Amino acid sequence: MSYQFEKLLSENCNHNSKDVSEDDFENLSQTSSSILRENSLDELPFLNNIVDLETKTEEHVTAFLKRRYVNKQIYTWAGQTLLAIHPYEDIVSNYFNDTSVPCIDSIISKIWFRLSRNIGKNNQAVVISGESGSGKTYSACLAMKCIARFQKNKKKEPTDNILWQAWSSVPLLTAFGNASNEHNNNSSRFGKLLQLQYSAGTIVGAYIKTFLLEKSRVTGPNYQEGNFHIFQQILESVDDDTLANLYLNKDTAYKIAPKPENYLKSTYSETVKSLKILNITELNEILTILAIILNLGNINFFIKNENGYIAKDSYKFLIYASKLFQIDSDNLTQLLVTKTFAAKSKGNKRDTLYTSPCINKEECKERRNCLMRFLYNNLFLWLVERINEQIYAPESHKLIGILDVYGFEIFDTNTFEQLCINYANERLQQYFVNDHILKQRNELVAEGFSVDDIDTTEYSIRVGLLDGPVSVFGILNEECAMKRFNTDVFVNIRLADTLRSSKYFDTPGNNFSTCFVIKHFAGNVTYDTKTMLYKNRDKVPEEMISFLKDCKFPFLECMLRSSNDTSSNKTLLNKFTKSLDNLMQTLNQSDVHYVKCLKPNSFQIRGYLDEAYFIQQLRSNGIFDIFKLHFQNFCIRYNFERFIRKFSKKLYNCLQNPLKSEFHLGKKYIYLTEEGYIAFELLQYISKSIAARKIQKYWWKHRERRNRAAVTIQEFFKRIFFKKKRCSIENFIELSKMSSDIPLGRDESLTSTTSENYFANSCRKAEEYLRAHQFNRNYEGEQLSLTLEKHFNSLQTKPFKRVLFSGDHIISYNRLAEIPVRLHLSKTCIPYSNLLPKSELSKGLADIF
Ligand SMILES: Nc1ncnc2c1ncn2[C@@H]1O[C@H](COP(=O)(O)OP(=O)(O)OP(=O)(O)O)[C@@H](O)[C@H]1O
Q: Per the annotation, does 133 bind a ligand?
A: yes
Which atom of ligand 1 lies nearest, measured to the CA of 130?
Answer: 21
Whether residue 25 is contained in a domain is answered as no
Query: What is the pLDDT, as a whole number, of residue 328?
Result: 92
pLDDT band at 451 (very low <50, low <70, confident <90, very high): confident
In whole angstroms, give the CA distance from residue 401 to residue 134: 20
Whether residue 519 is contained in a domain is answered as yes
In whole angstroms, give the CA distance from residue 790 to residue 811: 14
Q: Which of 506, 530, 554 is the last residue of a domain?
A: 530
Q: Does 17 have pLDDT greater than 60?
A: no
Q: Per the annotation, does 407 bind a ligand?
A: no
**Using an 8 Å Cβ cutoff, are 143 and 402 in contact?**
yes
Query: What is the pLDDT, as a whole number, of residue 607?
Result: 86
Q: Per the annotation, does 833 bind a ligand?
A: no
Most confident of the ranges 35-44, 168-177, 776-785: 168-177
Which atom of ligand 1 lies nearest, measured to the CA of 186?
Answer: 17
Whether residue 460 is contained in a domain is answered as yes
Distance from the CA of 184 to the center of ligand 1, in angstroms?
7
In whole angstroms, give the CA distance from residue 370 to residue 194: 29
Which atom of ligand 1 lies nearest, measured to the CA of 406?
Answer: 25
If we measure between CA atoms, which residue out of 454, 455, 456, 473 comes closest to residue 464? Answer: 473
Tens-place pLDDT, residues 231-274? 999 998 899 999 999 999 888 999 998 877 777 776 889 999 99
Which atom of ligand 1 lies nearest, measured to the CA of 89?
Answer: 4
**Using an 8 Å Cβ cutoff, are 663 and 676 in contact?**
yes
Per the rule left: phi > 0, alpha: psi between -120 and 50, beta: everything else, 249 is: beta
In whole angstroms, give the CA distance from residue 77 to residue 673: 15
**Using an 8 Å Cβ cutoff, are 195 and 392 in contact?**
no
For residue 772, the cross-strand partners are none
| Choice from 83, 95, 184 to test ligand 1 binding pocket (greatest atom count within 8 A of CB) | 184
Q: Name residues whose C-beta falls within 8 Å of residue 614's C-beta, 6 or more positions apart in sequence.
A: 62, 65, 66, 598, 599, 600, 601
- Work out the end-to-end distance of the chain between its first and last CA atoms, rounded to an integer number of angstroms: 92
**Using an 8 Å Cβ cutoff, are 224 and 260 in contact?**
yes
Query: What is the pLDDT, as a whole number, of residue 223?
Result: 76
Query: What is the pLDDT, as a whole number, of residue 631?
Result: 54
Tens-place pLDDT, residues 617-658? 888 887 877 766 665 567 677 778 778 877 777 777 777 777
Does residue 394 have a cis peptide bond before it, meaning omega lies within 30 degrees of 0? no
Complex ipTM tops 0.85: yes
Nearest-CA residue for atom 9 of ligand 1:
135
Distance from the CA of 190 to the center of ligand 1, in angstroms?
15
Number of domains in the chain: 2
**Using an 8 Å Cβ cutoff, are 530 and 514 in contact?**
yes
CATH of the domain at 466: 1.20.58.530
Q: Per the annotation, does 99 bind a ligand?
A: no
Query: What is the pLDDT, as a whole number, of residue 565?
Result: 54
**Using an 8 Å Cβ cutoff, are 256 and 157 in contact?**
no
Q: Does 426 have pLDDT greater than 70?
A: yes
Query: What is the pLDDT, as a whole number, of residue 350?
Result: 61
Secondary structure in 3-state letters for 148-171: HHHCCCCCCCHHHCHHHHHHHHHH
In whole angstroms, give the CA distance from residue 136 to residue 194: 13
Whether residue 34 is contained in a domain is answered as no
Q: Per the annotation, does 135 bind a ligand?
A: yes
Q: Per the annotation, does 622 bind a ligand?
A: no
Q: Which of 513, 530, 547 is the last residue of a domain?
A: 530
Nearest-CA residue for atom 16 of ligand 1:
135
Distance from the CA of 6 to the center of ligand 1, in angstroms?
52
Distance from the CA of 53 to the center of ligand 1, in angstroms?
29
Please list every protein residue whose CB sits less than 6 Å from any atom of ligand 1: 86-87, 90, 92, 130, 132-138, 183-184, 186-188, 406-407, 597
Q: Name residues whose C-beta falls within 8 Å of residue 780's C-beta, 6 or more positions apart in sequence.
A: none
Q: How many CB atoms lie within 10 A of CB 825?
A: 14
Distance from the CA of 185 to the center of ligand 1, in angstroms?
9
Distance from the CA of 135 to the center of ligand 1, in angstroms?
3
Which atom of ligand 1 lies nearest, measured to the CA of 138?
Answer: 18
Whether residue 270 is contained in a domain is answered as no
Q: Does 158 have pLDDT greater than 80?
A: no
Q: Which of 498, 530, 562 is the last residue of a domain?
A: 530
Whether residue 798 is contained in a domain is answered as yes
In whole angstroms, give the CA distance from residue 680 to residue 685: 8
If we measure between CA atoms, which residue out of 439, 635, 448 comes closest to residue 4? Answer: 448
Q: Does 22 have pLDDT greater than 70?
A: no
If we measure between CA atoms, which residue out of 32, 3, 244 comes closest to residue 680? Answer: 32
Provide the domain limits for residue 827: 741-844
pLDDT band at 206 (very low <50, low <70, confident <90, very high): very high
| Choice from 127, 186, 262 to test ligand 1 binding pocket (greatest atom count within 8 A of CB) | 186
Tens-place pLDDT, residues 491-519? 888 898 899 899 999 988 666 788 899 99
Residue type, 533: L
For residue 192, the cross-strand partners are 210, 404
Tens-place pLDDT, residues 687-711? 888 888 888 999 999 999 988 988 9
Distance from the CA of 543 to the center of ligand 1, in angstroms?
42
Distance from the CA of 416 to the center of ligand 1, in angstroms?
24
| Choice from 82, 138, 425 to test ligand 1 binding pocket (greatest atom count within 8 A of CB) | 138
Going from the C-alpha of 834 to that of each of 825, 828, 837, 842, the distances in angstroms are 8, 8, 10, 16
Query: What is the pLDDT, as a whole number, of residue 518?
Result: 94
Query: What is the pLDDT, as a whole number, of residue 453?
Result: 77
Distance from the CA of 580 to the center of ligand 1, in angstroms?
23
Tens-place pLDDT, residues 743-797? 444 343 445 556 566 666 777 777 776 676 655 444 455 566 677 667 666 655 5
Tens-place pLDDT, residues 538-575? 888 888 988 999 999 999 988 887 665 555 678 899 99
Per the rule left: phi > 0, alpha: psi between -120 and 50, beta: everything else, 326 is: left
Nearest-CA residue for atom 3 of ligand 1:
90
Nearest-CA residue for atom 31 of ligand 1:
138
Whether residue 777 is contained in a domain is answered as yes
If we measure between CA atoms, which residue out of 340, 642, 622, 626 comes closest to residue 459? Answer: 622
Q: Does 40 have pLDDT greater than 80?
A: no
Whether residue 771 is contained in a domain is answered as yes
Q: Chain-wide mean pLDDT for the chain?
A: 78
Q: Classify residue 530 by its DSSP letter.
A: T
Going from the C-alpha of 79 to that of each of 632, 666, 680, the distances in angstroms are 7, 20, 22
Distance from the CA of 187 to the center of ligand 1, in angstroms?
8
Q: Does 72 have pLDDT greater than 90?
A: no
| Choice from 137, 214, 596, 598 to test ligand 1 binding pocket (greatest atom count within 8 A of CB) | 137
Which atom of ligand 1 lies nearest, measured to the CA of 185?
Answer: 29
Nearest-CA residue for atom 10 of ligand 1:
135
Q: Name residues whose C-beta falls within 8 Å of residue 828's C-beta, 6 or more positions apart in sequence.
A: 834
Distance from the CA of 808 to the center of ligand 1, in angstroms?
94
In whole angstroms, give the CA distance from residue 24 to residue 31: 11
Mean pLDDT of 204-216: 90
Query: What is the pLDDT, as a whole number, of residue 652?
Result: 76
Which atom of ligand 1 lies nearest, measured to the CA of 84?
Answer: 1
Nearest-CA residue for atom 11 of ligand 1:
135
